[in-house]
């Protein structure tokens, strides 16, 4: 018999080894996969946009001589005491519970040193965080864990959380491993149980109620605090318009790349929209209402560099928020812990079992032995450095585009590398004036 060459093994593009592994895991365990972080799939993102830079038609600013400002005011619509930040890169809400006390302290130290704000999360306000954050945004969540009027009055702004990008329409989850005595006490829960946060607020539903809720919070705080409304990237045009109608000072818009402490993988990967697709819709809603720059827009979800900051602002955002990137700056997923990641069955830069509370970096844990490893002073310094670098990068790009303030960046400074990005961002495909769906497109 002739020995013909055999057909080489061919993997299915549908049933890939990763898909099959998940089927086997589900079959063996009977439970869906829960993990932290944001979507890991490839999505149209800021990498699909480029800045054009200046040439003959517009002139650049000198990088080492001419000023490019970065400050931002938030809450100028109604609040008696709006917030003024030196840089437009804020720290997104992350809970004590999901993060250790020292990690929250480091976020406060780093943000304050860089001239920006940090944000509480589900579970209430800790002294570590208030004490080390010059500007602290207090989240008002459906669970109301730790919610009290004293903390409302000692925060600098209030963020009503309607949803988040990793799970629009979903509630929170903190598994029993991380419900320590202190976390349990702050949340009025028995120790060691799986804590579920509701997906809807307990005492309001819909935009008309939200308006009344915002009014109540303003009354309780004597109209001093800026009130943000945070939504996940689901229907950004209408959500932004309704938040404005309800009386928000600031809209926070979180794309599906935004992280979570713990949620079902299927939720993270299959619900929501990428931030690139969300920003133009939110900006259009603000413009249609005559409220662009009057109600400020903070966007988040996959912001990693000064280039991402500049692109988000060119599309019309007033500021951005970072969560995952801030944790990485603190030391999360650092290859220095590779040996321990291997023991957990993972590897550096892929570790996402934050809900299990065994983080070798001591950041996403409530285990005293683990969080003792984390130095909040060093962590704060690293975060400050990272925020400064991002700001310098964004300024570099803005000057190259001839802008003396990051807020002067505009969509006309951008082009798209792909048709998808052009359609989502509303920015012409590079080398053309074509925006799919507009100016004669389909």
Partner 1 sequence: MQTFDLEKEGLRALNSSLHALKGQTNMTRWEVINPKGAHAIAAGVDAEVEITVRGSTGYYCAGMNKQATILIKGSAGPGVAENMMSGKVVIDGDASQYAGATGRGGLLVIKGNASSRCGISMKGIDIVVHGNIGHMSAFMAQSGNLVVLGDAGEALGDSLYEARLFVRGNVRSLGADCIEKEMRPEHFELLERLLKAGEADAKARPEQFRRYGSARKLYNFNIDNASAY
Give the interface with partner 1 as residue ranges (CB under 8 A).
29-31, 143-144, 147-149, 152, 175-176, 187-190, 192-194, 196, 198, 202-204, 209, 212-213, 215-216, 219-223
| Distance of closest approach, residue 148 Cβ to partner 1, in angstroms | 6
Hey, is 101 helix, strand or coil? Answer: helix
| Distance of closest approach, residue 367 Cβ to partner 1, in angstroms | 18
Q: What does each C-alpha distance from 125 to 153, 226, 231 come to in angstroms?
A: 12, 17, 21
Q: Which is nearer to partner 1, 177 or 408 (CB)?
A: 177
Nearest by Cα to 366 from 377, 375, 358: 358
CA dihedral in degrees (122, 127, 132, 134; nearest 10)? Answer: 70
Q: Which is nearer to partner 1, 13 or 28 (CB)?
A: 28
Cα 272 from Cα 112, distance rounded (Å): 31
250 φ, ψ (degrees, to nearest 5): -140, 140
The residue assigned the tokens 């001419």 is 66
Hey, is 159 helix, strand or coil? Answer: strand
Q: Where are the alpha helices (DSSP H) in 204-305?
A: 206-220, 236-246, 265-270, 275-288
| Distance of closest approach, residue 50 Cβ to partner 1, in angstroms | 46
| Residue 256 CA, distance from chain mean position | 9
Q: Which is nearer to partner 1, 222 or 412 (CB)?
A: 222
| Distance of closest approach, residue 365 Cβ to partner 1, in angstroms | 19
Q: Which is nearer to partner 1, 219 or 369 (CB)?
A: 219
- Name residues whose C-beta falls within 8 Å of residue 314's C-beta, 6 or more positions apart in sequence: 51, 409, 410, 411, 413, 414
Please give the structure tokens belonging to residue 64.
């080492």
Q: Which helix (H) or strand (E) holds 25?
A: helix 17-29
- Name residues whose C-beta falls within 8 Å of residue 299's C-beta, 6 or more positions apart in sequence: 252, 253, 254, 255, 275, 278, 279, 282, 312, 317, 319, 320, 321
Q: Which is nearer to partner 1, 118 or 143 (CB)?
A: 143
| Distance of closest approach, residue 416 Cβ to partner 1, in angstroms | 43
| Distance of closest approach, residue 28 Cβ to partner 1, in angstroms | 12
| Distance of closest approach, residue 226 Cβ to partner 1, in angstroms | 17
Q: Which is nearer to partner 1, 57 or 188 (CB)?
A: 188
Q: Which is nearer to partner 1, 149 or 335 (CB)?
A: 149
Nearest by Cα to 324 from 146, 184, 164: 164
| Distance of closest approach, residue 209 Cβ to partner 1, in angstroms | 8
- Name residues whose C-beta falls within 8 Å of residue 361's C-beta, 6 or more positions apart in sequence: 330, 331, 332, 333, 334, 337, 373, 374
| Distance of closest approach, residue 161 Cβ to partner 1, in angstroms | 14
Q: Which is nearer to partner 1, 189 or 326 (CB)?
A: 189
Cβ(195)–Cβ(127) under 8 Å? no
Dihedral over Cα of 260, 169, 276, 210: its sign: negative
| Distance of closest approach, residue 27 Cβ to partner 1, in angstroms | 12
Q: Which is nearer to partner 1, 190 or 441 (CB)?
A: 190
Q: Which is nearer to partner 1, 167 or 384 (CB)?
A: 167
- Name residues whose C-beta falls within 8 Å of residue 4's C-beta, 6 or more positions apart in sequence: none
| Distance of closest approach, residue 189 Cβ to partner 1, in angstroms | 6
């Amino acid at each position: 018999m002739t020995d013909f060459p055999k057909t080489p093994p061919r993997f299915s593009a549908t049933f890939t080894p990763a898909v099959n592994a998940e089927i086997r895991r589900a079959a063996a365990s009977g439970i869906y996969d829960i993990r932290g972080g944001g979507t890991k799939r490839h999505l149209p993102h800021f990498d699909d946009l480029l800045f054009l830079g200046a040439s003959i038609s517009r002139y650049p600013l000198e990088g080492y001589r001419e000023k490019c400002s970065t400050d931002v005011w938030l809450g100028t619509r109604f609040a008696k005491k709006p917030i003024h930040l030196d840089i437009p890169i804020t720290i997104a809400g992350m809970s004590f519970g999901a993060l250790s006390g020292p990690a929250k302290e480091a976020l406060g130290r780093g943000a304050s040193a860089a001239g920006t704000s940090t944000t509480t999360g589900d579970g209430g306000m800790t002294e570590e965080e208030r004490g080390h954050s010059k500007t602290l945004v207090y989240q008002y969540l459906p669970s109301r864990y730790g919610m009290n009027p004293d903390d409302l009055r000692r925060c600098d702004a209030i963020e009503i959380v309607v949803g988040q990008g990793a799970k629009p329409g979903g509630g929170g989850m903190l598994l029993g491993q991380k419900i320590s005595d202190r976390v349990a006490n702050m949340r009025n829960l028995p120790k060691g149980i799986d804590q579920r946060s509701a997906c809807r607020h307990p005492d309001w539903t819909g935009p008309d109620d939200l308006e009344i809720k915002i009014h109540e919070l303003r009354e309780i705080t004597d109209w001093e605090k800026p009130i943000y409304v945070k939504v996940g990237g689901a229907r950004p045009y209408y959500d932004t318009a309704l938040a404005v109608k309800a009386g928000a000072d600031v809209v926070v818009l979180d794309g599906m790349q935004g992280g979570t402490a713990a949620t079902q993988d299927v939720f993270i990967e299959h619900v929501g929209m990428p931030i690139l697709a969300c920003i133009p819709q939110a900006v259009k809603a603000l413009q249609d209402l005559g409220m662009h720059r009057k109600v400020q827009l903070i966007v988040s979800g996959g912001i990693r560099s000064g280039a991402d900051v500049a692109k988000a602002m060119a599309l019309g955002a007033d500021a951005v928020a970072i969560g995952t990137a801030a944790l990485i700056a603190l030391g999360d997923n650092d290859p220095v812990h590779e040996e321990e990641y291997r023991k957990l069955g993972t590897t550096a830069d892929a570790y996402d079992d934050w809900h299990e509370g065994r983080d070798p970096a001591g950041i996403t844990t409530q285990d005293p032995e683990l969080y003792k490893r984390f130095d909040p002073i060093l962590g704060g310094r690293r975060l400050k450095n990272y925020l400064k670098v991002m700001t310098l990068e964004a300024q570099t790009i803005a000057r190259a585009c001839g802008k003396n303030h990051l807020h002067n960046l505009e969509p006309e400074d951008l082009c798209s590398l792909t048709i998808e990005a052009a359609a989502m961002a509303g920015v012409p495909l590079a080398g053309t004036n074509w925006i799919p769906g507009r100016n004669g497109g389909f």
